[in-house]
Amino acid sequence: MDNSGKIFFSTSFSTYEIVRTNDGHPTLFSKHFDELCHSNVGSYEETLFNYINALEIIKILKTQKEITILEMGFGVGIGLLVTLDEYFRHQIDSRMSYHSLEIDEGLFYWSLENVFKEKPYYAWMNHYRIIEENGFKVFNIDYQNIQINIHIGDARKVTKHLLKTMAGSVDAFYQDPFSPSKNPLLWTVEWFKDLYKLGAWNAVLSTYSASTLIRKSLLLSDWQFGNYLGYGTKRGMTRAWKNGHQMDEVLKGKVTRSPLVPLQDHNFKLQD
């Protein structure tokens, strides 16, 4: 805590300020990315709106025997928390495999202590094991019909590794990294192409971004998409899918004709 009353903590990756959002749940301001992880309107409600409800996660769980979810990135842990809350609230018995990508290992420990620990019914979250996969650390938790894997490392590298074992298997993507201006490599055409390869035939993707620039990246990587009402003060957001939906031709034409140049890997320096 500093003299302003603000509360900070540091990991080996970054320093964070703990921010309490309007719905009573926390989010973090990352000094490294110079950005909040969530809207301060409400981290929990925003996540419920943007991902669980937008992607109809519960409907998928009720109609399929299992679901595989991939989140970018774990951050505060609110994405996992809301998904678990809805899973148990609806008394789902289908199998759920939840994967999350996170560059900062310290945030997993912070989340256990500050998000999950205050909820006794999630005490089982502390019974994790650490697995090494091709040089990447994975926090693995198995509980009833739920398997959780938090993959630690650079998301681009981890995703390339996951393509070897999970191609064509992911049903739903929570595209929730820091914004394109702060973390552009998780918004490029090549990034969305990798997600497309990871996706099952009827895979769906949701993101808080309604940017034409990002939608052009989606279009060039074969995703179809639609425009939807955003959460809180945001006017729009984007939902995308691989197959099974008809894309609005007016929206497609608008994005296609836009002079904006989409983000591509060659514009940025990839880490070795």
**What's the whole-model pTM score?**
0.95
Q: Which domains, and CATH codes, for the chain?
A: 43-267 (3.40.50.150)
Q: Is 240 exposed, middle or buried (0-12, 13-18, 19+ CB in 10 A)?
A: buried
| Torsion-angle region of 179 (φ positive above 0: left; ψ -120 to 50: alpha; else: beta) | beta
Element (H, E) at 71: strand 66-72
Per-residue pLDDT of the chain (272 residues; tens, 9 = 90+): 555 678 999 999 999 999 999 988 999 999 999 999 988 888 999 999 999 999 999 999 999 999 999 999 999 999 999 999 999 999 999 999 999 999 999 999 999 999 999 899 999 999 999 999 888 999 999 999 999 999 999 999 999 999 999 999 999 999 999 999 999 999 999 999 999 999 999 999 999 999 999 999 999 999 999 999 888 777 899 999 999 888 999 999 999 999 999 999 998 876 54
pLDDT at residue 1, rounded to an integer: 54
Query: What is the C-alpha separation between 185 and 190, in angstroms, rounded?
Result: 9
